[in-house]
Structure 1
Amino acid sequence: MQNKNVIITGANSGMGLATTVNMAKRGYQVIMACRDPKRGERALQEAKQQSGSDRIELLICDLGSLESIRAFVEKFRANYDRVDVLINNAGVVSVKRETTSDGFESMMGVNHLGHFLLTNLLLDLLISAPQGRIIVLSSGAHKIGRIQFDDPYLSKGYRVWKGYAHSKLANILFTKELARRLKDTNVTTNCVHPGAVGTSLGVNRKTGFGKSVHTLLRSFFLTPAEGAETAIYLASSDEVRAISGEYFYKKKIAPVSSRAKDPELAKKLWIWSEQEVGLIL
């Protein structure tokens, strides 16, 4: 894997950091895409120490900012001519309704739209790789999700699980439509339900709200390393090199909701997403 590179979003903690360490141990050049410079730098040093590899680089990318995403891609292109693997791992859970710098509800903005723009801006570099792979972290919560195009940012009747579920449904619809568009290329794309993982997801970084709940339930959760196993499998295994557009759980293809496999809904979401992020193809 000495000549292969992988971009991992949200790489400074949890499954992102565990994935970074694992991929670095496998010999990949790892690019950690992190929002916070200080947390990212600490995670970079920890990843190097745990993996024993110095082939790890930190680049700042705030998925809640379209400007930051474009700047990340520009910096990446200055040093690399292809992307072998893109792991769209970053995610947020907002207990109270929050918005990104572009005015998007934070979960739809970060979990879906940020990754939608990032992936599309890197598509030509993925196609340039011998066999590009895109992995999108979704969730079993997608099964209760609905895309409300009349109020996609939940300005009325906001509920945390309602918002999280529809962003995770968007992840799967995006993956399936992307797979359709890439069917004649050498790039595959799949999504993952990692299981119930003990990470800081849902903990307010400023107030620490929610941390006690995570601590109390920690013994019931998978570790970040365990939760990352399926994403790493999709990123590196020859067994799945020809599989695209699927949803995986525990390294096996799993069923999705009827809405998640609706091709017309996937196309509609794609067009809406292009408009929201100002993407010109």
Structure 2
Amino acid sequence: MNKRVLITGGNSGIGFCTAQQLAGRGAEVVLACRDQTKGQAALARIKGGHPQARVRLFPLDLSDLAQVRGCARRLNDELDGIDVLINNAGVVPTRQQFTRDGFEMQIGVNYLAPVLLTHLLLPLLQQREDARVIHVASVAHWLGRINTKTWRGRRPYLVMDAYGQSKLANILFSDVLAQRLAAQGITSNALHPGGVDTPIFRHVPDLAMKLIRPTLTTPEKAARLPVRMALDEEFYGVTGGYFDAKGPAARSPRARNKKQAERLYLDTMAALDINPL
């Protein structure tokens, strides 16, 4: 397997298990992580389980768009191509927080920064045949409404409303990307990994977690889907899809709205100050 896969947030949870399984299948894995100490530990764990694994680590803080640009420049300088980009990293703060650029943290980290990163890494994806972009979304997109007025903060701050908007935006962006990159042979798909017992729930109260945990799957099981989507022949040429472990997944009506997808994309380009594809 000569595929090179870049995954954001590959130091813990689903991201780490995805990176581990990719390495186990012979893919070269590029970890892009905010916490370099945890990133180095993840790299060591992967190498410990797969001594022949090819794994690299790059610093990437999605809460700072200047750092996203810096990471992308370094990746473009040091790599000769990327076969698969997995936009995996995400946050779910229970109290309203803001990125370095003044965006509400969930829309900033879960959506805006991955959009910027994807655009900046397109030259690397364009170097490879059957290049794929994969967006880790969520069934929580059913709760989402796109409201650009909340991107700089919302009152009151409702954590699941903010999370749902970011995950809905992931799916809509994936669809627009699929359409705009179709002529280049680069595919774009989104996925729902299932309810997964990962550190993303670390702010949830203990009592609530006791009720939630029995419904959750393991990160190891959840990682199988992004690994398949990254490497398997069954996803060759498949684009504009939204999947869960069973196959094509149900989308909310808003996630099927093509006009909203285009409007969101143009608003996003304006917010990031980059040119549309």
Q: Which amino acid aligns with 1:158?
A: Y
**1:214 & 1:78 partners in 2: Cα distance?**
44
In structure 2, the partner of 1:242 is: 237
Determine whether 1:278 maps to 2:273.
yes
User: Is the contact made by 1:25 and 1:53 (CA closer than 8 Å) also made in structure 2?
Assistant: no
**What whole-Å deviation, never above 9, does each CA across 1:53-88 have from its counterpart, x for those lacking one?**
341011010111111111111111222121100011
What RMSD in Å do the two structures reach over aligned CA positions? 1.6
In structure 1, the partner of 2:139 is: 140
Q: Residues 260 and 27 (structure 1 numbering): CA distance in 2 closer, same or farther, change over 3 Å?
A: same
3-state SS of 1:81 partner: coil
3-state SS of 2:66 partner: helix
In structure 1, the partner of 2:250 is: 255
User: Is the contact made by 1:233 and 1:251 (CA closer than 8 Å) also made in structure 2?
Assistant: no
**1:219 & 1:255 partners in 2: Cα distance?**
23
**2:43 & 2:37 partners in 1: Cα distance?**
10
User: Is the contact made by 2:26 and 2:53 (CA closer than 8 Å) also made in structure 1?
Assistant: no
User: Is the contact made by 2:24 and 2:53 (CA closer than 8 Å) also made in structure 1?
Assistant: no
Q: Which amino acid aligns with 2:82?
A: V
Q: Residues 59 and 107 (structure 1 numbering): CA distance in 2 closer, same or farther, change over 3 Å?
A: same
Q: How does 1:164-183 map to 2 (within 5 A)?
A: 164-183=163-182
In structure 2, the partner of 1:266 is: 261
Q: How does 1:1-281 map to 2 (within 5 A)?
A: 1-2=1-2, 4-204=3-203, 210=205, 213-214=208-209, 217-280=212-275
**2:56 & 2:156 partners in 1: Cα distance?**
41
Aligned residues: 276
1:202 Cα deviation from its structure 2 partner = 3.5
3-state SS of 2:7 partner: strand
1:256 Cα deviation from its structure 2 partner = 0.6
**What whole-Å deviation, never above 9, does each CA across 1:96-117 have from its counterpart, x for those lacking one?**
1100111110100000001000
User: Is the contact made by 1:25 and 1:51 (CA closer than 8 Å) also made in structure 2?
Assistant: yes
TM-score, normalised to structure 2's length?
A: 0.95
- Gap runs ≥5 in structure 2: none
**1:104 & 1:159 partners in 2: Cα distance?**
15
Q: Which amino acid aligns with 1:63?
A: L
Q: Residues 191 and 96 (structure 1 numbering): CA distance in 2 closer, same or farther, change over 3 Å?
A: same
Q: Which amino acid aligns with 2:259?
A: E
1:213 Cα deviation from its structure 2 partner = 4.9
Q: Residues 51 and 220 (structure 1 numbering): CA distance in 2 closer, same or farther, change over 3 Å?
A: farther
Deviating above 6 A after TM superposition, structure 1's stretches of 4 or more consecutive aligned residues are: none
User: Is the contact made by 2:102 and 2:152 (CA closer than 8 Å) also made in structure 1?
Assistant: no
3-state SS of 1:201 partner: helix
**1:251 & 1:123 partners in 2: Cα distance?**
30
3-state SS of 2:107 partner: helix
**2:117 & 2:95 partners in 1: Cα distance?**
26
User: Is the contact made by 1:17 and 1:43 (CA closer than 8 Å) also made in structure 2?
Assistant: yes
**What whole-Å deviation, never above 9, does each CA across 1:238-276 have from its counterpart, x for those lacking one?**
011111011001151112111111111111111111122
User: Is the contact made by 1:92 and 1:202 (CA closer than 8 Å) also made in structure 2?
Assistant: no
1:214 Cα deviation from its structure 2 partner = 4.3
3-state SS of 2:182 partner: coil
Comparing both structures, which one devotes a greater share of its residues to helix?
2
3-state SS of 1:169 partner: helix
User: Is the contact made by 1:66 and 1:114 (CA closer than 8 Å) also made in structure 2?
Assistant: yes
Of stretches 70-79 and 167-176 in structure 1, the one that deviates more from structure 2 is: 70-79
